[in-house]
Structure 1
Amino acid sequence: MADFEPMDLVVLADDEGNSVRVHVFGREPSWPQGLAAEIVVETPFVTGRTHLILSGHKLRSWAESLDKLDAGEAAAWMKWDRGPSISIQLTGDRDCPEVVVDDESFSMVTVRVPVVLPDGWIEDHRARLRSLQSAIADF
């Protein structure tokens, strides 16, 4: 992983300035099997970030979440793991998808972000996941 280029695994963003991203930096120094990452929330109203460690299990769980979303179901990623979680509702209160970032274990803050997602966003995220998995294949 010496040549790992930091990347965004998740980019849920719209033209209104609302976004939730999961940025992956590379190997986690405190846990060699993990990836150092952060969840970044940016809106015209609130901006925040929280540290995250991604494991192989969490990456597989993200793939499962994408399958659920593709089938038209809501998905909760990392909901039962320690640390922050991301839930995606395909139809939120504002007639567009909502992304809920919950950092109950550390900051005890929950942020709900309405995001108008572009066509093809699920396939884009599958490609992002494949790219990350390819980059860490020798992990």
Structure 2
Amino acid sequence: MLIGRDLGTAAQLNLALFCDDEGNSVRITVLGALQGVAGGLAAEVVVDTPFVAGRVNLSLWRSRLTSWGEALDRLEAGEDIAWLHVQRGPSIFIHLSSERDCPEVVVEDDLASMVTVRVPIGLPADWIATHRRLLGAVLRAWDDHLSPK
């Protein structure tokens, strides 16, 4: 499903990586150019915990990457976020505090599998800055490919 890109350079960039010492992780990885869709990127959301593991495909465009940056701004301001909610494909929710006294990442795939997974993850203090760097790396690597909007 990848086209038009040297897979050794820009593919396989993490857009998000939430993980802790308990073995819980949620990762969003850009896989490469989205076949048949100009300006789109193929990505996947991967959940891996000692209890459950799964993955779901995700399509990204510049507008979705911009909205991820805006979501990081809201998180930094202390707000919970819903990213890609009410759009085609999976949704990502981040609750800054949960029943387990740590952030919780929720992956909801209402369209295909109709499964929701909640993953409590103890995150380091600089996790938002780290995610801004990941977003910047994806934008730099794929800027020429992404559609203008």
Q: Give me the whole-angstrom Cα distance separating, in 2, the residues matched to 1:85 and 1:5.
A: 22
User: Quick one: which of 92, 106, 112 aligns to 1:106?
Assistant: 112
Q: 1:59 — aligned with what?
A: 65
Which residues of structure 1 form unaligned runs of 5+? Answer: none
User: Quick one: which of 81, 86, 109 aligns to 1:80?
Assistant: 86
Q: 2:100 — aligned with what?
A: 94
Residue range with higher mean Cα deviation, 29-38 or 46-55: 29-38
CA RMSD, Structure 1 to Structure 2 (Å): 1.0
Which residue identity does 1:20 align to in structure 2?
A: V
Superposition deviation, residue 98 in structure 1? 0.4
Superposition deviation, residue 93 in structure 1? 1.2
Q: Which has the higher strand share?
A: 1
TM-score with structure 1 setting the length: 0.96
Aligned residues: 139
Q: Give me the whole-angstrom Cα distance separating, in 1, the residues matched to 2:40 and 2:99.
A: 35
Which residues of structure 2 form unaligned runs of 5+? Answer: none
